[in-house]
């Protein structure tokens, strides 16, 4: 029925809005990590899993690979 379709549309909009809010919060809360990641990807283009984990944990390395 029309009423059921409207309820489904409203619930769908609510779910999408909630997901958008959560995604926006995640980005805002992790913007520094995202910026570090972007800078490193511009520099290296490819990151291995351990490099990514270290980067996201705030660990830094010197240009010769030492910390």
Q: How far apart are alpha carbons 56 and 54 in whole angstroms?
A: 6
Examine residue 13 and state whether it is found in any structural domain, yes or no.
yes
Domain containing residue 36: 2-56
pLDDT tier, 65 (very low <50, low <70, confident <90, very high otherwise): low
Examine residue 64 and state whether it is found in any structural domain, yes or no.
no
Q: What is the pLDDT of residues 1-40, one digit of tens each?
A: 999 999 999 999 999 999 999 999 999 999 999 998 899 8
Q: How far apart are alpha carbons 37 and 21 in whole angstroms?
A: 22
Examine residue 36 and state whether it is found in any structural domain, yes or no.
yes
Output Rg (C-alpha) for the chain, integer angstroms.
20
Split into its structural domains, the chain has a count of 1
Examine residue 67 and state whether it is found in any structural domain, yes or no.
no
Q: DSSP secondary structure string, 35-62?
A: HHHHHHHHHHS---HHHHHHHHTT----
Examine residue 44 and state whether it is found in any structural domain, yes or no.
yes
Examine residue 61 and state whether it is found in any structural domain, yes or no.
no
DSSP 3-state percent helix, strand, coil across the chain (nearest 5): 75, 0, 25
């Amino acid at each position: 029925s029309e009423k059921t379709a409207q309820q489904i549309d409203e619930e769908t909009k609510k779910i999408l809005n909630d997901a958008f809010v959560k995604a926006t919060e995640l980005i805002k809360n992790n913007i520094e990590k995202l910026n570090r990641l972007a800078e490193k990807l511009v520099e290296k283009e490819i990151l291995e899993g351990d490099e990514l984990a270290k980067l996201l944990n705030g660990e830094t390395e010197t240009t010769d690979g030492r910390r």
